[in-house]
């Protein structure tokens, strides 16, 4: 599924990029993300800072979904644009977002 086709309740796209989303990985520990996120996964996290984008970029994540009402600050959006990573925000928890992403991807 293309990133720009991803739509579910509570999800808002703040930085669109047309990459392919193939799966997801949910974690707030960046080392854990680096060890386990697979290329093409969307990263579901509450870590709303620039290093999240750096980690997403290093691991080949297609998108970052910031949960629990965390907002994307301008420096985060700028870094994401530079690294061509889509950014979404959601008021839902990581759990709810994970379930909805899985349904959207029909995993």
Partner 1 sequence: MSPAPQPAEDMSLRVQELAGNLKIRDVMTRKVFAVTRTCTMRDVQIILMHNAISGVPVVDDKHVIGMVSVHDIMNAYEQGWMQDSVCDHMTTGVRTLAEEQPLSFAMSAFSKFPYRRFPVVNRNNELTGMVTLRNINMALIQELSRQLDAIETEGGLITPAATSENCIFYRIYRIARYDFESGGKASAELREQLQARGVAPKTIRRAAVACYELEINIIAHSYGGTLTLYIDRDRVRITANDFGPGIPDIDQAMTEGFSTASDWIRSQGFGAGMGLPNTKRLSDEFAIHSGVDMGTMVKSVVHLNPQENPADESK
Residues that bind partner 1 (CB under 8 A): 28-32, 34-35, 39, 45, 47, 49-52, 54-55, 57-60
CB of 5 to partner 1, least distance (A): 25
Minimum distance between the CB of residue 32 and partner 1, rounded to whole angstroms? 6
Query: Which residue number, 6 or 30, has a Cβ lying nearer to partner 1?
Result: 30
Closer residue to partner 1, CB minimum distance, 77 or 104: 77
Evaluate whether 62 touches 20 at the Cβ level (below 8 Å).
yes
């Amino acid at each position: 599924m293309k990133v720009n086709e991803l739509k579910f309740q509570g999800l808002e796209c703040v930085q669109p990029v047309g990459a392919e989303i193939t799966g997801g990985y949910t974690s707030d520990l960046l080392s854990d993300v680096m060890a386990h996120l697979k290329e093409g996964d969307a990263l579901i996290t509450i870590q709303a800072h620039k290093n999240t984008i750096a980690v997403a970029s290093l691991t080949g994540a297609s998108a970052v979904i910031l949960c629990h009402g965390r907002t994307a600050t301008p420096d985060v959006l700028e870094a994401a644009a530079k690294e061509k990573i889509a950014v979404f925000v959601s008021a839902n928890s990581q759990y709810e977002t994970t379930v909805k992403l899985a349904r959207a991807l029909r995993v």
